[in-house]
Chains A and B, each alone.
Chain A
Amino acid sequence: GDSVTQMEGPVTLSEEAFLTINCTYTATGYPSLFWYVQYPGEGLQLLLKATKADDKGSNKGFEATYRKETTSFHLEKGSVQVSDSAVYFCALSKTSYDKVIFGPGTSLSVIP
Chain B
Amino acid sequence: NAGVMQNPRHLVRRRGQEARLRCSPMKGHSHVYWYRQLPEEGLKFMVYLQKENIIDESGMPKERFSAEFPKEGPSILRIQQVVRGDSAAYFCASSPGAGVTYEQYFGPGTRLTVT
Contact = CB atoms under 8 A, between A and B. Distances in A.
A binds B: yes
Interface size class of B (residues with CB under 8 A): 20 to 34
Interface in B64-109: 91, 93, 95, 97-109
A99 interface: yes
Nearest to B92: A43
B107 to A, nearest CB: 6
Interface string A72-112: 00000000000000000100010111111111110000000
A99 B48 contact: yes
A51 interface: yes
Interface string B28-61: 0001010100000111110010000000100100
A103 B35 CA distance: 13
Interface in B8-31: 31
Contacts of A100: 33, 35, 43, 45, 93, 104
Interface of B: 4, 31, 33, 35, 41-45, 48, 56, 59, 91, 93, 95, 97-109
